[in-house]
Structure 1
Amino acid sequence: MEYVAAKSTICRQCGRSFSPSAPKPGLKLKDESSAPEESPVHRKFEGIWSRQRNRLVSCFECKRKHEVSDAASSTNCPGCSAHIDLRDYKITTSFSRTIRTRGDVHLTSKGDLSSTSVICNSAIIEGKVRGNLECEDSMTIDLVGKIPGRIGAQHLIVERKSDIQCFRRVRVTNIDIKGRMSGEIVATGSVTIHKTGTLEGNVTAKSIAIEKGGMFSGQLVIGQAGLTQGELLPEAKAAEKKAESEVPLGATQPLHAT
C-alpha cells in the first residue's frame, strides 16, 4: 500500500519504477468528443427558460410606454427622463408614505395604509385603507370595513366575504361584486352582481348584469357612463322648462292628479 499523494513508487517484485496515477494497460478512457449532443428540442426549451421577460410600462408624466425587464426595480422614461418606480410593495404594518409605482401593492389583513395617494399597477386590499387608491390594471378587495378615499381601477373585484362601504365615488371600467358593497359607482364598461353579491347605491354604467340571487338597491343610469345622476337632473329640469315655454298663453294646461 502506497501513500495516496505519491507520484511514483517501485515495484517490490521486479524493482521497476512506475506512477500509481498512470492508466492501467488495456483501460480505455472516456472520450469527451464522443459525448451525446443535446437534442434541438432541449436547446429550444433552454433558450425559452433563459430568455429575459419584458413588460410594458407607461410614464407617470408624459404617459409614454416602453418595455422594461421584469427584474428591473426602476427605470427612466426615454421621452422625458422621469424616474419610474417598478417595485412591488407588501404592507404588513402601518404605512403612511405616498406610493407611486408600476409594480403591485399587497395590503395584508394586518396592514394599515394611511397614505394620501397610492398609484400602482394592481392591488390586493385586505387591510385598512384610508387614502386614495388608483390602479392601472386590477384591484381586488377582500375586507370588512369603510373606505373613505377615492377608488379607481380598470377592473375591480369585490370578494365574496367582503362588506365595504365607500364614501367617495368609485370609478372603474368593469366591476364584479361577489360580496356586499355600498357606494356610488361610475363604470365605463359593465357592472356585474354575482349571485352572492349585494349592491346599495347609485350606478351609472354602459351595462349591468345581475345573476339570480344577486341584490341591487339604488338608482340606475344605463348607456351614458360619463354622466352621473346629479349631472342628469339639471338637463331634465331644463327640458321641463322648455316644454312649458312652448305652451301658448291662454291655453289650458292639464292639472296633476292628486
Structure 2
Amino acid sequence: MFKSKPASAVDPATTDTLIGEGSVFEGNITSKASIRVEGTMQGDIHCDGDVVIGENGNAHSNISARHVVIAGEVHGEIQASGMLTITSKGRLEGNVSAANLVIEQGARFTGTSSMRETAEAPQAQPQAKSKASTESNAIHADA
C-alpha cells in the first residue's frame, strides 16, 4: 500500500524535518536530509544535510551537520563539515569545529572555535587556503 524511497535516494539538500514554532522536541534526532528548528529542541542532532535554527528556534543540542545556520539560540557543541553561519540575531553558547565560520554583525558567540580544511571547503576563499588550524579560547563576539 505505501511505498518508501530507498535510503540512498534521500537528498541532503532537501529539508524533510521541521520542528515548528510552538513545538517542543525532546530526544536525539538523526536525518539524512536537512532539518529546520523553529520551535524548541532538546537533544542531539546528527544530520547528513544542513541544520537551520530559525529566529524563533531554541536548541539545547550538540549539532553535527554539513552546514549549520543559527538565527535563533543554541546551547551546545557544533561540528560542521562545511560552513557555520551565525546570523545577526543568532546566539551560540558552545564550542565550534567548522571548515568555515561566519559571524554576522550583532551575533553573539561564547565559546571556542577550531577551523579546519575539508574536501567541501571552497578553495577560492582565503580562509580555506590556510593550512594552519586556528583556535581561540573564550571568544565572546558581539560583532
TM interval, short-chain normalised? 0.5 to 0.7
Greater share of helix residues, 1 or 2? 1
Distance in 1 (alpha carbons) for counterparts of 2:63 and 2:81 = 11
Check if 1:141 corresponds to 2:34. no
Give 5+ residue unaligned stretches, structure 1. 1-71, 78-83, 87-101, 103-120, 226-258
Check if 1:182 corresponds to 2:75. yes
For 1:122-179, what per-residue CA distance to the aligned partner results, in whole angstroms no more than 9, with x for missing partners? Answer: 20012222232122221110114x513x21221111110122212xx31100011111
The question of whether the paired residues in 2 share the 8 Å contact of 1:204 and 1:224 is answered with no
What is the root-mean-square deviation in Å for CA atoms of aligned residues?
Answer: 2.6
Distance in 1 (alpha carbons) for counterparts of 2:54 and 2:60 = 14
The question of whether the paired residues in 2 share the 8 Å contact of 1:173 and 1:189 is answered with yes
Structure 1 ranges of 4+ moved more than 4 A: none
Partner of 2:102: 209
Letter in 1 for 2:76: G
Larger RCO of the pair (alpha carbons < 8 Å, separation 6+): 2
Q: How does 1:6-45 map to 2 (within 5 A)?
A: none
Deviation at 1:75, TM superposition (A): 4.6
Greater share of strand residues, 1 or 2? 2
In terms of Rg, which structure is larger?
A: 1
Check if 1:158 corresponds to 2:53. yes
Letter in 1 for 2:56: K
Q: Percentage identity across aligned positions? A: 24
Partner of 1:196: 89
For 1:44-86, what per-residue CA distance to the aligned partner results, in whole angstroms no more than 9, with x for missing partners? Answer: xxxxxxxxxxxxxxxxxxxxxxxxxxxx941586xxxxxx7x9
Check if 1:123 corresponds to 2:17. yes
The question of whether the paired residues in 1 share the 8 Å contact of 2:64 and 2:78 is answered with yes
Give 5+ residue unaligned stretches, structure 2. 119-143
Q: How many residues align?
A: 111
Distance in 2 (alpha carbons) for counterparts of 1:76 and 1:162 = 30
TM-score (norm. length: structure 2): 0.67
**Residues 223 and 76 (structure 1), Cα distance of their counterparts in 2 relative to 1, 3 Å cut:** closer
Distance in 2 (alpha carbons) for counterparts of 1:73 and 1:131 = 27
